[in-house]
Amino acid sequence: MKKEQIIKWTLVVGLLLFFQMTNVMIIHADEESLGDISQQWWKKDKRDNPKEGFPDLRGGPEIPNRARQQPVDMTVLQQRYPDIFFLQGSTDQKRVALTFDDGPDPRFTNDVLEVLNQYNVPGTFFLLGSRAVAYPEIVTQIQNEGHVIGNHTYIHPNLVDESDIEMLEQEVTRSEDALNDIIGYRPHLFRPPYGFLYNELVEKLAEMQYLVIGWSVDSLDWQEDPPEVIASNVLDDVQPGAIILMHDGAGVDGDRTNTIESLHQIIPTLQEQGYEFVTVPELLNVPFAK
């Protein structure tokens, strides 16, 4: 073979090897990129689309319900039943309680827990029995991380619209049994969906050995405003003894991302102002279990 031909074939083989190696590197890079994209979509899908059978809120989302007139104002109920119905704790100390409703929710509860852990702050979680059954591992995590669990009914009905005394008892007992199976105690604290109750329902809850926990500060996070608005709703209205209403759960179409972000503003600001975060039982000096 002539020298020119040897040089020519050497160049051809070299070029082929070069393109092959380059192609492998590109494919490998593409696989990594696709892997990153896939991971991002998996995370998004996990948040936006909880697993099949995710229990929705029986009474519907907060917005249309909370816009309605309350059957009996919480302040009136607190005045009528001062040993049963609570809106806040003592104003003698700069202590406040963060409370979260409608969980456990696999899209948001873990992120709320992460923020609370970051600031070493305890919370009180009013859980739905149906969601506790669906996600017992999240319930266990809430308990293991030192937070208190309360009862928020089983399927989140509007107790005033569609319940009688018997239905209330069924809803509360079913949720209580579900929670007891997971955490090993029967909660002493109850929060009604939407804050809606009337006299007879409060009296029945008292018979069932529950304390009813309302709130003195509403973050209005259920409106899904920007984080700074949610934070302002809390910070502008907080006072010693405050019970702060927030949500770690939402309906199927709801989003609590802004709630999570707002905690990064609310917690350090109140800590800088000298407030101590405690659980509701600590704030009220009551037991958390029956």
Question: Any idea which residues carry the catalytic annotation?
Answer: 101, 247
Report how far residue 201's alpha carbon sits from residue 197's, in angstroms, rounded to the nearest whole number: 6
> 92: Cβ–Cβ under 8 A, 6 or more apart, which residues?
240, 241
- Strand-strand pairing, 124-127 and 95-103: parallel
> 145: Cβ–Cβ under 8 A, 6 or more apart, which residues?
113, 116, 117
Which DSSP state fits 248? Answer: S
Which DSSP state fits 167? Answer: H
Q: Enumerate the H helices of the chain as residue ranges.
A: 3-48, 62-66, 74-80, 109-119, 129-134, 136-144, 159-162, 165-183, 199-207, 227-235, 257-272, 280-284
- Strand-strand pairing, 276-277 and 189-190: unpaired
